[in-house]
Structure 1
Amino acid sequence: MNKNPVITNDEAQMLEWHTLLSYFKDLCYTETGKQYCEKLQPLQYDDIITQYSKINCIKEILLIGHAPDFSGICDITALVDKASKGGTLLLDEIFKIRSFLIAQHRITAFFKSVQYDTSIITELHAIDDCTSLYKQLTSSITDNGNLNENTYPVLRKIQKDINDIRHTIEKNLNNLIHSQTYQHALQDKIFTVKNNRYGIPIKSSHKGNIKGTILDISSSGATFFIEPESIHELNNALLFKEIELQREIDKILQILSSEIGAHAQQLKANAHILAYLDFCMAAARFAIKYNAHTPAISQTPYIECINARHPLLAILLKEKVVPCTITCGKSFNCLIISGVNTGGKTVLLKMLGLFALMVRHGLPITANPDSTVGYFEHVFVDIGDEQNIMQSLSTFSGQIKNIVRILNHANEKSLILIDEIIVGTDPKQGAAIAQAVLEHLVDKKAIIAVTTHYSQLKEVASHQDKFENASVLFDIHTMQPTYHVLLGIPGASYTIEIAKNLSLPDGIINKALSLLDATSQSVDALLSKITEQSHALQQKEQELSLLKEELKNLQEEYNNKIKELQATIEKVTKEQATSFMNELQEYRNVIVNRIREIQSMSMKDANTL
């Protein structure tokens, strides 16, 4: 196990990483694909790019409307290991290997047949056909899972002998149970098989009237199952034939198992490749289903996502999710996110963390394809209440303990996400500690995003180049969050306004306002106004961008129409010229023919013209 994982299990749970992976797992066709997803490991930079190319290739194939059939692909590892160690597999176990090989051939044939370049999926070329094993198993076992008697005629002969003996025994017993001699002794007019030997049910009171061997006794003791003496040797013959048949079957199964064992290494390698292909198929289906894309990957760690949506919200709410454009780490190191509670600050943090993890694991993200996500070696997370009763840690103590760990391990390749940094203590001292922590992390060149209500941190972001503000917007008129994100502007908390909306008595509201200094009130009011104006400006810019795009499309459409018109004019001109030349040639031909006629005439005829 990696001593320095990209993220710890506890931090992954804070981001709901495993919940997200479960959706990819559900999109896998096979159990082996699901297992691959469960054990998903982070990739190196070059491997991420390669995997993205494979997922995009498969995505294009799926969009065409084609998909390979993975039925028959199952976990064969244990069976193959058993065979490789000299064990003999059961017939149904060998049938699973047969089904696997058929599915393997079907899948590779599919990718060869599609009208799309699949050369990037190099795993397809690494699959071993196991041709001899494939031919042997498909000829030895039928589609119904039985040994093929055409391949093994000795089985047909022995089975015929068994059927003939059974027929003779049953004919003998039918004669016996319908004979008047034994009517009084029979419990039922049937014959049965007990301990692999035929017999008839006899009343216990008449058991001595029929010569034969007792095979069994009913639980009540009222019925004895007796093998009549007349079929004793036939039963023996039947038993010997069935043993002979089983020996032949065991011999065949041992041969087939040995052949499977000889291909153990290739089969296990193929199984791993097909599990990976199933996983890539699931990632491509995720991209199509939830409008996800593979972003550009930067070796310099930063995040710049266009129309980004939290992947779990995109799954649950689909098109209802409000997208945002967010950047962190490109021109500054620390993003200070502020604004009203329930406005989406924590969701924004989790989205950034999930995007970093998705990229490290080669998964498409729910953002535009022109987004960029850097290669982060570590993702550190502190989200949620770290109060621990068992360890006697308060919320403040729990967070400090986590921050100490982050400070000790963070570097320029780290993404650090902290929700409500330094709370549960004196606000002024908490803000001071928070600022000191963030400045220290910035000095280490880490990429940081934190949420806060501290005005001191908002001011830091307004004055220091390595910091930047961002706010989650709140509609003061509807008293509802809009879930839009505004970069460069700190957010107001609207604490008193929300408290008033939640019916806190007016007397208390007024008292609270009187306790606030005039500067705080004016700053909050100004901040609210700036936020509204900035958001309005952002909307205008978006509208202008849409108008520009519309104008561009109209210009292109106009240019295309001009080209079509010019082509039509040229076409008409060429057609008219061709028609004129044809007419001219016909007239020339008439003149030439007339001259020839004149030349062939006599002078006399010419004078008469």
Structure 2
Amino acid sequence: MDPILHKLEFYKIIENLAQLCTSSLGKEKAQELRPSTKGWHIKDGLAETTEAKETLRLRPSVPLAGLQDIRSALKKAQIGGLLEPEELLRVSSTLRASRKMRTFLTTEEKEERPIPMLKALAEGLGNYRNIEEEINRCIIGEGEIADNASAELQRIRKTIKTFQTRVREKLEAIIRSPEKQKYLQEALVTVRGDRYVVPVRQEYRNQIPGLIHDQSASGATVFIEPMAVVELNNDLKRYHAAEKTEILRILQSLSVLVGQESEDIAVSTEILSRLDFIFAKARLSQKMDGGEPAINQRGQLTIRSGRHPLITGKVVPVSIELGKKFRTLVITGPNTGGKTVTLKTVGLLTLMAQAGLHVPAEPGTELAIFEQIFVDIGDEQSIEQSLSTFSSHMTNLVQILEKTDSSSLVLLDELGAGTDPTEGAALAQAILEYLHQKGAKTIATTHYSELKTFAYTSEEIENASVEFDIETLSPTYRLLIGRPGRSNAFEISGRLGLSHNIIDRARSLLTQDERNVANLIEHLEANQVEAQKEREEAMRLRQEAEELRRKLDQREKAWREKEDKILIKARDEAYRIVKEAKDESERIVKDLRLAMKRLPIKEELLKAEQERNKLRQMQDTITGQRLNKEERAHNGLKTVKIGQTVRVPRLNQKGSVLTLPNNQGDLQIQAGILKLTVNIKELEATEEEKEEKGRTSYAVMAGDKAREISRELDFRGTTVDEAMEQVAKYLDDAYLTGTSPVYLIHGKGTGALRSAIRSYLKNHHYIKSFRNGEQGEGGLGVTVVEMKS
């Protein structure tokens, strides 16, 4: 497909995408992007682009700036190599990007839409803050090791400064001495080969006892290390060597830290590079005002106001459809350039969608997945012209006809051109008939009038033309489907001043059939223009009606929610008042019972009991959960035993039986801290008891499965499609047997398999939750899944 990508200028889209990446790693991902033919892969690519674009809309500052290409440094650290300070700083920068990116994508704002795919990727990013902070503590600036990187280094550098001070003091005493100054070239202290020296005139070199380390280019000056500082310089050099040794030890320690986590850091780096690539796709969508198209595998495409993304300036959008009512579209009319633009737009938007990129088209655009795309648009890769010959056209067509099938999209520009018109038209018709019989989806441009009649009289083949404005003598580039093109030669000639006598004579030379076809086309154009206006008006009215219905539905929903909230609030308030009254009455009854030992107040006690019963009845009515007698008789328990757990539907409470029912069927249960008096007919068995009684062969089968199933499924090395099939069956068995948690072993790798599996788990109805494996469980190479019971 590589030549096709060049002909349709897909690589220019790739170049634009790569420029929008933050890192060199993201650019690599962009440059490797190619159209796919796998439906799940394409839909995932489009969905992640949509998620990233929505994230950019709300939070445009994506923290990817620190991402560096640290792959070589990680490999070096993994085999025990020593990382240079600059390499360690790049590692630290990448680790910081990993930490910030994880926080950025796993922390949602209230107004944000869900971003499950980006979150799944972010969950694979590691947090290596300890390594990051240790590197930044030890290395500062441009590869400089900090004094406090270690206590030993701090001690050594402090000693070095002490010796340097002592050396300078002795040398400055020499250069300030009036006796010695006359021997010096300059009164200053300098360094030669890590030794402190003074510049002495050549003729007085014997007057300053010491070691000569260098001389000037002219030979007039020698640099002498006075004997008074030789020992101090020796000590200083020894400590400098110790400093280098300690720095190497610190770098080795940091390299070991990185090496221990190099495999996981490599996975995080790979995920970051993918996120950089995904957000670049989102920025490209923003730049060209693109959107996510619908995708199908039925070979049907509908482009609504699609724009060629590489044409600058004012672009006339193209609306076109193929594969529904017709499989072959013949675009006829004069060679004005608009036809080739249409072909390239259809081809390029299809390639972009199959690569997971948004396309510059209006909502409602739907594109098909084609196994192969064939193009014959000439040798010159220019939208304005085609300089191909008949021979080159035919060579290309022969290859296309050999390979095409029902899953192919074929785009042919100026079919049959470059030879005798009669033979060219016949050849073009035969080629279109062959492609149509093969089931290919074909769009062909031609200027042969004979093909207009062919398209008009053939099933599932449709005419189209690029609109031409007679007033301005220029094409409008608007595609008109169902309307064959006209040459407009007579009209254009008349507008340009050609004599009417000549034009009339030319008309008379046309055959009657040709005049009939011209009149038919003119009649069709008039009817289609009217029908198009009516269709647009109907569509406008339909959109207005749908919008009105949507607003009414929203308003009705809001009113219902408001009504429900008011009712719930009122019921809760009423229930609270009655409950308080009931509690108060029970307190009074309790007080009265205590008082019975002293006073004969049976009447008052009876009255209080009656009042409490009335309050209970009021509570039952307000909650709306009291069962009528028939329901109780039908659903209520017949017998209970002390300690049995039962449910009271009207109160939506569970309780434990305290007493057996009396003659009226009343008994007491303990519900939390409350003791309630209820009738046996109001009670139901709890769900736990129902399930226990209803246990049948399902439990036997589950028990058999449980003896066979393992808690681990290892599918490393499989493709995503194979892994999906294995995981689906395994999760069914785990759910059936009640096995939880289970461990899905997918390995670390690039993270593609892990991301695909986790996207699948998010929507699985058996899954309660899932997480990364912890230390000892496999880390990022394992997903631990909690099953629903």
Same fold, TM-score > 0.5, yes or no: yes
1:120 aligned partner, one-letter code: M
Does residue 23 of the first structure (1) align with residue 20 of the second (2)? Answer: no
Task: Please report the TM-score for the alignment, with normalisation by the length of structure 1.
Answer: 0.82
Alignment check: 8 A CA contact 2:300 2:367 kept: yes
Matches within 5 A, 1:71-470: 71-115=65-109, 116=112, 117-121=114-118, 122-130=120-128, 133-134=131-132, 136-142=134-140, 146-313=144-311, 316-317=312-313, 320-385=314-379, 395-470=389-464
CA shift for structure 1 position 179: 2.5
TM-superposition CA deviations, 1:445-494 (whole Å, max 9, x none): 11111211122222221111232111111101111211211111111233
Q: In structure 2, what is the Cα distance between the partners aligned to 1:86 and 1:60? A: 43
State the Cα distance separating 1:228 from its structure 2 match.
2.5
Moved more, 195-204 or 83-92: 195-204
CA distance in 2, matches of 1:376, 1:249: 60
2: distance between equivalents of 1:214 and 1:301?
88
Q: Deviations over 1:1-57 (max 9, x none)?
A: xxxxxx22x221211111112222222222211221011133321122122222222
Tell me, yes or no, if the aligned pair for 2:99 and 2:128 is still in contact at 8 Å.
Answer: no
2:303–2:366 Cα contact (<8 Å) kept: yes
* 3-state SS of paired residue (2:295): strand
What secondary structure is seen at the aligned counterpart in 2 of 1:301?
coil
Q: Deviations over 1:412-461 (max 9, x none)?
A: 11111121123222222222222222221222211111211122222221
Contact 1:386-1:398 within 8 A present in 2 as well: no
| Whole-angstrom CA distance in 2 between matches of 1:240 and 1:372 | 75
Counterpart of 1:28 in 2: which secondary structure? coil
SS at 2:254 equivalent: helix
Report deviation, 1:98: 0.8
Report which structure shows greater RCO (CA 8 Å, sep ≥6).
Answer: 1
Q: Secondary structure at the match of 1:120?
A: helix
Partner of 2:645: none
Letter paired with 1:491: G
Cα distance, 1:189–1:148 mapped onto 2, change above 3 Å: closer
| Amino acid of the structure 2 residue aligned with 1:353 | G
Q: Compared with structure 1, are the counterparts of its residues 536 and 276 closer, same or farther at alpha carbon in structure 2 (3 Å cutoff)?
A: farther
Gaps of 5+ in 2: 382-386, 563-789
Q: Partner residue of 1:49?
A: 43
Separation (CA, whole Å) in 2 of partners of 1:213 and 1:279? 62
For residue 290 of structure 1, report the CA deviation from its aligned partner: 2.8
- After superposition, the CA RMSD in angstroms is 3.3
Normalised to the residue count of structure 2, the TM-score between the two structures is 0.64
**Structure 2 counterpart of 1:477, from 471, 478, 485:** 471
Which is worse superposed, 263-272 or 464-473?
A: 263-272
Tell me the residue number matched to 2:646.
none
Name 2:739's counterpart in structure 1: none
Q: Distance in 2 between matches of 1:91 and 1:409?
A: 56
Identical positions, percent = 36
Pick which of 298-307 and 175-184 moved more: 175-184
Q: Which residue of 2 aligns with 1:38?
A: 31
- Write the deviation string for residues 553-576 of structure 1: whole angstroms up to 9, x where unpaired: 5787799999999999xxxxxxxx
Letter in 1 for 2:117: I
Query: Greater shift after overlay, 515-524 or 407-416?
Result: 515-524
Indicate the residue corresponding to 2:662 in structure 1.
none
User: What SS does structure 2 have at the residue aligned with 1:202?
Assistant: strand
1:516 Cα deviation (Å)? 5.6
Structure 1, unaligned runs of 5 or more: 1-6, 388-392, 569-609
Higher deviation after alignment, 336-345 or 497-506: 497-506
Shift of 1:363: 0.7
2:473, 2:222 → 1: CA distance? 87
Distance 1:542 1:324 in 2: 16
**Cα separation, partners in 2 of 1:373 and 1:554, compared to 1, 3 Å:** closer
Q: How far apart, CA to CA, are the structure 1 residues paired with 2:107 and 2:556? A: 41
Structure 1 Cα separation of the partners of residues 504 and 193 of structure 2: 94
Q: Indicate if the aligned counterparts of 1:349 and 1:419 stay in contact, CA closer than 8 A.
A: yes
4+ long deviations beyond 6 Å: 499-515, 554-568
1:527 aligns with 2:524: no
Letter in 2 for 1:467: I
Residue 13 of structure 1 aligns to a residue whose secondary structure is: helix
Aligned in 2, Cα 1:480/1:330: closer, same or farther, shift over 3 Å? same
Question: For the residues of structure 1 that align with 2:241 and 2:490, how far apart are their CA atoms?
Answer: 89
Q: Report the secondary structure of 1:376's partner residue.
A: coil
Contact 1:386 1:395 in 2 (8 A): no
Q: How has the CA–CA distance of structure 1 residues 473 and 159 changed in structure 2, closer, same or farther, with 3 Å as cutoff? A: same
Deviations 1:159-180 (A, max 9, x none): 1111112222222222322322
Deviation of the 1:503 alpha carbon: 8.7
Contact 1:11 1:382 in 2 (8 A): no
The answer for the alignment partner of 2:781 in structure 1 is: none
Match of 2:629 in 1: none
Pair 1:214–1:444, CA change in 2 (3 A):
farther
Shift of 1:534: 3.1
Q: Which letter does structure 1 place at the counterpart of 2:86? A: D
Tell me, yes or no, if the aligned pair for 1:140 and 1:147 is still in contact at 8 Å. yes
Q: How many residue pairs end up in the alignment?
A: 552
Paired residues of 1:491 and 1:531 also in contact (CA < 8 A): no
Residue 181 and residue 431 in structure 1: after superposition, are their counterparts in 2 closer, same or farther (change >3 A)? farther
Deviation at 1:66, TM superposition (A): 4.6
